[in-house]
Amino acid sequence: MAGSDGRLICPSAAVIEGGDGVRFSVTHDGATHSAFAIRYRDQVHAYLNRCAHRGVELDWVPGRFFDRDGRYLICATHGALYEPGSGRCAGGPCGGGLVKLAVIEKNSGIYLVAAGSSDEREQR
Ligand code: FES
């Protein structure tokens, strides 16, 4: 049970260090958006799945957000790079950063914290 900590996105074990991310849906600013969670340096981070360049989803292959070296998050469309821990633009045509979502990890689960948001793990 998430209690006041938010809604469960997925089990902790589903988000592997530097591996594929877990996609989920979130209500943000009154609309439903695609979002994702990744693990980087043993911390879970979550972002709207929306490139700052053209507003498209980052992953062509669902869940594939890291670049080949596992150093940056990469947009598959034009190659914008984002810092995994902050979502800040690290190269390419970002022109901004990713929208970060508040998550916590506890009791072997990853929870969305953002007030007023709802989530639903996407089935692919
Ligand atoms: S749409 Fe992401 S880099 Fe252009």
Per-residue pLDDT of 22-69, as tens digits, reads 999 999 888 999 999 999 999 999 999 999 999 999 999 999 999 999
In this structure, what DSSP letter does residue 42 have? T
Q: Is the pLDDT of residue 2 over 70?
A: no
Summarised one tens digit per residue, pLDDT across range 75-104 is 999 999 999 999 999 999 998 999 999 999
* Most informative mutation of 47, 56, 60 for ligand 1 (most atoms within 8 A of CB): 56
Query: What is the 52 CA–ligand 1 centroid distance (Å)?
Result: 7
Element (H, E) at 36: strand 31-40
Q: How far is CA 50 from CA 12, 32, 56, 81, in A?
A: 23, 12, 5, 13
Residue 124 belongs to a domain: no
Residue 44 belongs to a domain: yes
Host domain of residue 86: 3-117
Query: What is the 56 CA–ligand 1 centroid distance (Å)?
Result: 7
d(CA 66, CA 74): 6
Residues with CB under 6 A from ligand 1: 51, 53-54, 56, 75, 77-80, 92-93
Q: Is the pLDDT of residue 117 over 50?
A: no
- Can you name the residues that pair with 101 across neighbouring β-strands? 46
What pLDDT is attached to residue 29?
A: 85
Q: Is the pLDDT of residue 111 over 80?
A: yes
What pLDDT is attached to residue 6?
A: 83
Element (H, E) at 115: none
Residue 122 belongs to a domain: no
Instruction: State how many domains the chain has.
Output: 1
Residue 34 belongs to a domain: yes
* CATH number (domain holding residue 90): 2.102.10.10
Residue 123 belongs to a domain: no
Distance of alpha carbon 38 from its chain centroid, rounded?
Answer: 6
What is the average per-residue pLDDT within 11-24?
96
